Amino acid sequence: MDILFVDKPAGVTTHTSLGTAETERAGLFREINDGFCEHLAARSGQKLYVSHRLDRDTTGCIVFATSPESAEVLRERFATHKVSKRYLFLTTQNGLRGEEFTAESFIERRGSTYVSSSHTAANSRTGFKLLNASEGLFLWEARPETGKPHQIRLHAADAGMPILGDQDHGGASFTTLCLHSESLRVQVDGQDDLVFSQPPPRWFLDLELTKNPLLMRWLVAIDRRERLLRSWAACGDHSMSAKDVNRLADERTLRWLHSEADPLRADQLGPLVWLMWFRERHPNPLELQTIEKLASVLGWQSWALQLRIDRGGASSNPLIEAAGSCKPPANWLARENGLTFEMRAEQGLSSGLFLDQRQNRAWVQRNAKQKTVLNLFCYSGGFSVAAAKGGATRVVSVDLSKNFLEWTKSNFQHNGLTLENHEFRAIDSREYLAWAKKKGLTFDIVICDPPSFSRSDKGIFKIERDLEQLLTALIAVTNNDGGRVLFSSNFESWDDAEFEARVRSFAKTDQRLRLDRTPSPDWDFELPNTARIMKSFFICYETR
């Protein structure tokens, strides 16, 4: 059979709830909150067919068909109960039926919900077995023999042991739904059965972890990303190790934790995990102990914790001493999309690479061939390297800091790029724009990721005040025959809608301009029902 076994994360539906027309109307910055099947199909480049479903917050084993013929076979296997399923779940209630029993009921849909009844002939059956118990928390195995919607959740509730996090069916409130699809066994005629299994979340095996709400919030977010990575590997993403995704190759870069509502973020930067505490104060003793516990549970061998004060509040951000943390080297290397970047622990407010721009850098690398590129506020030159590696004829990197430009040059050298034919200009970006306009210079691609606030001898820059003036200056140096500006911002006071409205209003000042969507960030930056922090778009000149 042509099938694909994958490890589903929490927070995503099996397939999208939006139709094609709805998706197209959803807007420039639509969040990816559902559609696991569609996401994997886009990533793998092949059409996938849904044969069964897991609820949005259920984790673990799911199977898709990769051909219409296999989809029919799979549907037949599920319908005739030739697929064996094993689930694990947690509950805070001991139950009413003993340590091993079978539940039966009639399950039907009433309105928008599913209900279970014992007054009608049963159409569903589930076997249950207690596996572990610890201080008021119980780990159960469930083996559904039929496949009704919400079957395990309803039968667990009927038995007096509603699943932890399943408030719809009487479960205690929790960070996430504690239901995991642990294994699938598919019978194949004339061949050995196909078996697929995936480990449950860490707190299923160490029940003590559930007692710390802050730790659980972080572990749930990281578990989601780990399962996405395993799914990408199953789809043939060879940029990572399919053998052991949890122990990524030293060159890998990704974000493990990402949320504006939470003070802690965590980036994998090659061999080092870089933790950032976004507060005006150090973590208190309990918070620090929880961070240390997180690193221990995840087995992070090399990690560092940095205090990140709000932008404009400090010229540098100190490292925070913590048990188990390391003193990072002055510099080290990490890789992204085949490019090598130098990380620095003690230069600037970041270690050197803003990971939420990963897909935008990849776009620049794919589209820079035979183009002239201007990279403003270039910092360590991530976009400049991507453009040069992609075959740009000339890349101009502009930053007020000479140290950052030297860093950019180092990144060129790490990627085997010569500095010839490229420029590195230590000047205020707005001043360079005025000079370039005066000289009549234009570029095919202009990249601008400005700070929300900056101060120089030329004055103070505030994006909420100076946005239109900056966009006007950018367009003035953009090739008016097919050129484009890649503009982005992390300014938190604008949500996606307001940001888009402001830029769209500017683009309408010239009928030759249009606003285009930039690539969506990878899913290590996408959280369900969470506004995107980094907002970006293309302002494009129509080709004459």
Identify whether the C-beta of residue 301 lies closer than 8 Å to the C-beta of residue 313: no
Which residues, in sequence order, are CB contacts of 505 under 8 Å at separation 6+? none
Give the 3-state secondary structure of 427-456.
CCHHHHHHHHHHHCCCECEEEECCCCEEEE
Q: Which residue has the tokens 């159409």?
A: 123
213-234 and 285-298 helices cross at what angle (nearest 10)? 30
Q: Which long-range contacts (CB under 8 A, 24 or more apart) does 498-502 make?
A: 499/29, 499/535, 500/27, 500/28, 500/29, 500/535, 500/537, 502/467, 502/468
Pairing of strands 319-320, 303-307: antiparallel
Tokens of 371: 């183009």
Report DSSP state, residue 164.
T
402-414 and 382-389 helices cross at what angle (nearest 10)? 40
Q: How far apart are CA 263 and CA 280, in angstroms?
A: 10
Identify whether the C-beta of residue 41 lies closer than 8 Å to the C-beta of residue 35: no
Q: How far apart are CA 85 and CA 184, in angstroms?
A: 5
pLDDT tens string, the chain, 544 residues long: the values are 689 999 999 988 998 765 544 444 443 334 444 588 988 887 778 899 999 999 999 999 999 999 999 999 999 999 999 999 999 999 999 888 889 999 999 999 999 899 999 888 999 999 999 999 998 999 999 999 999 999 999 999 999 999 999 999 999 999 999 999 999 999 987 788 999 999 999 999 999 999 999 999 999 999 998 898 888 878 865 444 444 444 444 457 888 998 767 899 999 999 999 999 988 899 999 999 999 999 999 999 999 999 987 544 455 678 899 999 999 999 999 999 899 999 998 776 678 999 989 999 999 999 999 999 999 999 999 999 999 999 999 999 999 999 999 999 999 999 999 999 999 999 999 999 999 999 999 999 999 999 888 877 777 888 989 999 999 999 999 999 999 999 999 888 888 888 889 999 999 988 899 999 898 777 677 654 456 778 899 999 988 7
Burial class (CB in 10 A: 0-12, 13-18, 19+), 162: buried
Structural domains present in the chain: 3-211 (3.30.2350.10), 249-333 (3.30.750), 361-541 (3.40.50.150)
CA dihedral 94, 96, 98, 100 (to 10 degrees): -90
Q: How far apart are CA 218 and CA 509, in angstroms?
A: 45
